[in-house]
């Protein structure tokens, strides 16, 4: 049965709720551009593309404090820099800004291609050993961003296998089992405390993200240990899971759309546009929260100071006023001003890295892995398994 306005009272953008969330979005953008859900302590939501855009610019009305995450990640302190508003936010962000320019990310390209090739070869080998059936999430979509981001940050390679479970516990357990998220967050913070003290003891320069954080100066002073931990934690959480989701959902779509798959195999130059469309329609970040700081009115609806407000990027990405046939995935869509990396001062710092990883990942995957189809019936969202069958020509 199709969803109605009444269903939005229980709107959530986590877990199983994502299975049919596009139906919620359709009701939102057409009948309920500003509404309220009772979940997670209650929140108002904005669903129209323009309203979300305006709210992201207006941080004095829509603050990211106490945190952009709803429910929160149980980390115990604000995450730098995403849980801070300008002007405090600005100095912290500047520390890493130069490292994430497209020019700097381009330097990582040879390493990305090599890693993507190795992983794609492993996918083919694993399939050959298992009647053509293979989990391309576990063997490709997840390890690619983990390896690339870990190298960029300088996390020791022997630690990489621990990361997936930590990320899963924080991001995917927190809605039902906050104690599991809390325990994982504590472990992550202990891990970074170890890295930071080891680096300080060793001295020397490494020119990776951990070094930039440890040697950062904000307003002329060094960061405190808590600030370093908070920044490191945020990067860890933001850098690993999102790109894995982006790659997995792209492969999920291609697994059931042989025509699109064939088109991108024959025209790899169309992959960047396809990536934008996958990001628009299946974004790893479906929504982020703010707190309303002063009474305001959006779409004729009052929002009171103190209310939590969720900006539903996924709905704004399917707003018929902005996108023609918004629910259709058109891999050659030309005008694609989607909200998936957010906007305003909190625009995803890693967007240039994520885009590059997705484009290279899909390109190398299609070059090495023969035609594949969905074999496991898994859902579109998340970073769980994605079982495909390679098709014998």
Confirm or reject binding of residue 202 to other proteins (CB under 8 A). Answer: no
Confirm or reject binding of residue 100 to other proteins (CB under 8 A). Answer: yes
Confirm or reject binding of residue 386 to other proteins (CB under 8 A). Answer: no
Nearest approach in angstroms of CB 250 to other proteins is: 18
String of contacts with other proteins for each residue 11-50, x by CB under 8 A: ----------------------------------------
Confirm or reject binding of residue 272 to other proteins (CB under 8 A). Answer: yes
Confirm or reject binding of residue 345 to other proteins (CB under 8 A). Answer: yes
Nearest approach in angstroms of CB 170 to other proteins is: 26
Rule CB under 8 A: choose which of 102, 194, 258, 306 binds other proteins: 102
Give the distance from CA 334 to its chain's centroid.
23
Residue 78 backbone dihedrals phi, psi, to 5 degrees: -65, 145
Confirm or reject binding of residue 94 to other proteins (CB under 8 A). Answer: yes
Nearest approach in angstroms of CB 347 to other proteins is: 4
| DSSP codes joined into one string, 262-331 | HHHHH-GGGHHHHHHHHHHHH-S---EEEEE-S-EEETTEEE-TT-EEEE-HHHHTT-TTTSSSTTS--T
Between residues 139 and 362, which has the closer beta carbon with respect to other proteins? 362
Between residues 290 and 308, which has the closer beta carbon with respect to other proteins? 290
CB 327 within 8 A of CB 97: no
Q: Is 126 exposed, middle or buried (0-12, 13-18, 19+ CB in 10 A)?
A: middle
Identify which range of 19-27, 99-107, 189-197, 253-261 contacts other proteins by CB under 8 A. Answer: 99-107
Between residues 37 and 242, which has the closer beta carbon with respect to other proteins? 242
Between residues 38 and 337, which has the closer beta carbon with respect to other proteins? 337
Nearest approach in angstroms of CB 267 to other proteins is: 17
Confirm or reject binding of residue 341 to other proteins (CB under 8 A). Answer: yes
Can you tell me whether residue 42 is helix, strand or coil?
A: coil
CB 387 within 8 A of CB 378: yes
Rule CB under 8 A: choose which of 157, 334, 392, 393 binds other proteins: 334
d(CA 370, CA 392): 8
Nearest approach in angstroms of CB 214 to other proteins is: 20
Residue 5 backbone dihedrals phi, psi, to 5 degrees: -55, -35
Q: What is the CA radius of gyration of the chain?
A: 21
Closest listed residue to residue 284, CA positions, set 123, 173, 150, 172: 172
Sign of the Cα pseudo-torsion (15, 16, 22, 25, in order): negative
Confirm or reject binding of residue 217 to other proteins (CB under 8 A). Answer: no
Q: Please state, in angstroms and as integers, the Cα–Cα distance from residue 311 to each residue in 87, 199, 208, 238, following that order.
A: 22, 39, 33, 18
d(CA 301, CA 226): 40
Confirm or reject binding of residue 372 to other proteins (CB under 8 A). Answer: no
Identify which range of 7-15, 95-103, 148-156, 379-387 contacts other proteins by CB under 8 A. Answer: 95-103
Confirm or reject binding of residue 101 to other proteins (CB under 8 A). Answer: yes
Rule CB under 8 A: choose which of 165, 200, 217, 347 binds other proteins: 347
Confirm or reject binding of residue 343 to other proteins (CB under 8 A). Answer: yes
# of chain residues touching other proteins (CB under 8 A):
22
Q: How many CA atoms lie within 13 A of 280 on its CB side?
A: 28
Closest listed residue to residue 236, CA positions, set 80, 68, 18: 80
Q: Where on the chain is the footprint of other proteins (CB under 8 A)?
A: 53, 94, 97-98, 100-103, 272, 334-339, 341, 343-345, 347, 351-352
């Amino acid at each position: 049965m199709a969803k109605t306005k009444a269903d939005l009272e229980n709107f959530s953008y986590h877990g199983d709720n994502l299975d049919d969330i596009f139906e919620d979005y359709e009701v939102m953008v057409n009948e309920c551009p500003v509404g309220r859900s009772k979940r997670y302590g209650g929140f108002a939501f904005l669903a129209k593309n323009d309203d979300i855009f305006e709210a992201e610019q207006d941080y004095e009305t829509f603050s990211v404090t106490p945190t952009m995450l709803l429910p929160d990640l149980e980390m115990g302190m604000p995450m730098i820099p995403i849980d801070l508003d300008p002007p405090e936010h600005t100095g912290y962000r500047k520390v890493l800004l130069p490292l994430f320019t497209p020019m700097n990310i381009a330097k990582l390209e040879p390493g990305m291609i090599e890693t993507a090739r190795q992983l794609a070869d492993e996918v083919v080998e694993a399939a050959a050993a298992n009647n053509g059936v293979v989990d391309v999430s576990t063997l490709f979509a997840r390890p690619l961003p983990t390896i690339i981001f870990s190298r960029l940050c300088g996390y020791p390679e022997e630690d990489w296998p621990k990361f997936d479970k930590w990320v899963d516990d924080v991001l995917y357990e927190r809605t039902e089992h906050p104690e599991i998220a809390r325990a994982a967050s504590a472990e992550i913070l202990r891990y970074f405390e170890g890295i930071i003290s080891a680096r300080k003891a060793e001295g020397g320069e490494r020119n990776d993200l951990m070094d930039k954080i440890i040697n950062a100066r904000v307003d002329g002073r060094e960061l405190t240990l808590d600030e370093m931990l908070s920044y490191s934690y945020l990067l860890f959480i933001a850098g690993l899971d999102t790109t894995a989701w982006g790659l997995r959902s792209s492969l999920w779509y291609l697994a059931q759309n042989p025509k699109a798959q064939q088109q991108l195999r024959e025209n790899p130059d169309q992959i960047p546009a396809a990536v934008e469309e996958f990001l628009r329609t299946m974004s790893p970040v479906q929504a982020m929260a703010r707190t309303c700081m002063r009474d305001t009115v959006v779409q004729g609806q009052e929002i009171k100071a103190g209310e939590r407000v969720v900006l539903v990027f996924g709905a704004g990405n399917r707003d018929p006023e902005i996108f023609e046939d918004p629910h259709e995935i058109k891999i050659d869509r030309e005008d694609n001003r989607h909200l998936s990396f957010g906007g305003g001062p909190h625009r995803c710092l890693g967007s240039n890295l994520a885009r590059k990883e997705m484009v290279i990942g899909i390109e190398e995957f299609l070059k090495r892995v023969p035609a594949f189809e969905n074999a496991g019936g898994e859902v579109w969202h998340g970073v769980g398994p994605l079982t495909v069958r390679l098709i014998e020509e």
